[in-house]
Amino acid sequence: MAHILIIGAHGQIARVATRLLLERTDATLPLCLRRARRLEALASNPRVRLVEADATDESALETAMAGQDIVYANLSGDMARQARAIVMAMKKAGVRRLIFISSMGIYGEVPGERYRSILDPYRDSAAIVENSGLDFTVIRPAWLNDDDVIAYGMTRKGEAFAKPTVSRTSIGDLIVRLVKEPGFGVGESLGVHGNKSAS
């Protein structure tokens, strides 16, 4: 049984991933967010524990990470500061595996597109994760939609990005795969796009 701390658990991708992890694994899921009452409907599930903490609070994160196998971070706001706190807390707690949601475009890998400062939080936080020495996987989703389909393809860092949309359900499926296949995606930055059969 895996123990997976989800940081930023109220995020749209995180909520889809939580549902899929509960349906398709036997993992326990501490759900970390600033206002735990927003997910109180899940509190009755014996595999869920709500943790109220800010993603910049290294001490609170370290406490929440005790006994966890995987940290999955789905952030917004001051992402570089949050990424630094998560990396430091993981090292102190002895947790190695990190799944980190970023964005397409952080390497200039989308043909014909130039994203400027709007991507700086994603770019800066991904760099912190990639240089952390942890067993990380960075996920760079395309533009997201709410289609209830699992259909996606992937590109690696250095490869041109393909197809600019993907479903949140597809990203959730990839997160489940990363959990169930421990060696898959470690040390990689995966661009995820739609319109292909599931990878």
pLDDT in tens, 49-105: 999 999 999 999 999 999 999 999 999 999 999 999 999 999 999 999 999 999 999
Is 199's pLDDT higher than 80?
A: no
What mean pLDDT is predicted for residues 175-181?
97
Average pLDDT over residues 174-184: 96
Q: How far is CA 105 from CA 109, 159, 191, in A?
A: 6, 11, 9
Residue 148 domain boundaries: 4-194
Answer yes or no: is 17 within a domain: yes
Q: Is residue 40 part of a domain?
A: yes
Question: Residue 160 sits in a domain of what CATH number?
Answer: 3.40.50.720
Q: What is the value of pTM for the model shown?
A: 0.95
Q: What is the mean pLDDT of residues 151-178?
A: 93
What's the pLDDT at 198? 40
What is the signed CA dihedral for 178, 131, 155, 111, rounded to 10 degrees?
150
Q: What is the CA radius of gyration of the chain?
A: 16
Please tell me the predicted confidence (pLDDT) of residue 196: 52
* % of the chain with per-residue pLDDT over 90: 87
State mean pLDDT over 121-131.
Answer: 97
The total domain count for the chain is 1
Give me the mean pLDDT over the 119-142 stretch.
97
Average pLDDT over residues 13-21: 97
Does some domain include residue 163?
yes
Q: Among 115-119, 144-148, 149-153, where is mean pLDDT lowest?
A: 115-119
Asked, for residue 199, whether it belongs to a domain, the answer is no
Cα separation, 68 vs 91, in Å, equals 12
User: Is residue 124, in this structure, part of any structural domain at all?
Assistant: yes
Within-domain flag for 135: yes
pLDDT of the residue at 114: 72
Q: Is residue 129 part of a domain?
A: yes
CA distance 29 to 6: 7
Q: Which of 97, 109, 165, 162 is nearest to 134 (CA)?
A: 97
Answer whether residue 139 is part of any domain: yes
